[in-house]
Amino acid sequence: MSSYNNEQIQQYLTNNQNKARLLVSCSDQPGIVSAISTFLFEQGANIVESSQYTTDPSEGTFFLRIVFEAPGMKEKESEIREAFNDIGEKFSMKWKLTFLSNLKKTAIFASKEVHCLRELLYQWESGDLMTDIALVISNHETGREIVESFGIPFYYIPANKDIRKEVEAQQLKLLEEYEVDVIVLARYMQILTPDFVAAHPSKIINIHHSFLPAFIGASPHKRAYERGVKLIGATSHYVTDDLDEGPIIEQDVIRVDHRNGVRDLKKKGRLIERSVLTRAVKWDIEDRVIVHENKTIVF
């Protein structure tokens, strides 16, 4: 962990050492909330935050996010996880239990444009993005100075489509070495192979510089200008094998008009990209996102 904002991180870990988050999705049926509440009561836990949603009360899918706390949580991690297995099996749940004392490790992939990278670093420095930014990997040297000024390791790995497999082998080795939980593509302008994506399902967050599904792929601002759009936007989504078609986490737009050229659209677009990506990453590391089919439920 970088020592740059170590004091804020240690304060967060101290304040949340007895807290955990539970994400659940399963077929909607009677007794789910009751079973979970009873389980937490038996563990001596208190629910401090709860949100739920169902696609259809009669035959839909049920989603739940709970934050709870209990004395001595850190010592009981494995016990709680093992005990919840019975409920998970009873209701055929997909579930995820995260203990807040275990800070998630994040890797940022960057390229020549560093506005999204800078925003993530600033939000992290201020304590608004509570994660351990373990390393930054880039195919350009552009961001080295700012990254290293934060005390974060920077790895320059040149990349192009001809050496993609070799590049990804180096990247995967680093991700394993740093035990990374989340990968953020901060305008990393390289297409990942299916093997790379498969190794990190629903763990790779991308920012696309348009309001998807419009203008997928490269040069969306040029095509938006040619089309004469009145709104431009940005989309943050999980990466899948289908280019720019993964489950959408967050989107936003800004108004433009005929007086705005391609350069203006890019400038305005960068403002949205920074905020949209940061919100998506924040929601992911706070376990607010559940992927369902090709959509997301965001609590």
pLDDT single digits (tens) 252-273? 998 888 888 888 888 888 899 9
pLDDT single digits (tens) 268-287? 888 999 999 999 999 999 99
Q: How confident is the model at residue 2 (pLDDT cuts 50, 70, 90)?
A: low
Domains in the chain, ordered, with CATH?
A: 17-99 (3.30.70.260), 105-298 (3.40.50.170)
The single residue of 132, 162, 242, 244 carrying the catalytic annotation is 244
Q: Are 247 and 291 in contact (CB under 8 A)?
A: yes
Active site residue 257: no
Q: How far apart are CA 108 and CA 118, in angstroms?
A: 11
Residue 186, token pair as written in the block: 């901060």
pLDDT at 3 over 70: no
Strands 19-27 and 61-69: antiparallel
Q: How far apart are CA 284 and CA 288, in angstroms?
A: 6
Q: How many CB atoms lie within 10 A of CB 88?
A: 15
How high does pLDDT run on average in the chain?
92
pLDDT single digits (tens) 37-52? 999 999 999 999 999 9
Q: How confident is the model at residue 83 (pLDDT cuts 50, 70, 90)?
A: very high
Residues constituting the chain: 299
Q: How far apart are CA 46 and CA 245, in angstroms?
A: 39
Q: Which 3-state string (H, E, C) describes 97-112?
A: EEECCCCCEEEEEECC
**pLDDT confidence of residue 176:** 97
DSSP 225-279: HHHT-SEEEEEEEE--SSTT-SPEEEEEEEE--TT--HHHHHHHHHHHHHHHHHH
pLDDT single digits (tens) 165-213? 999 999 999 999 999 999 999 999 899 999 999 999 999 999 998 775 6
- Going by C-alpha positions, the residue among 164, 141, 144, 133 that lies closest to residue 282 is 133
- 287 φψ region: left (φ > 0), alpha (ψ -120 to 50), beta (else): left
**pLDDT confidence of residue 225:** 67
pLDDT at 35 over 60: yes
**pLDDT confidence of residue 264:** 83
This prediction has a pTM of 0.91
Q: How confident is the model at residue 7 (pLDDT cuts 50, 70, 90)?
A: confident
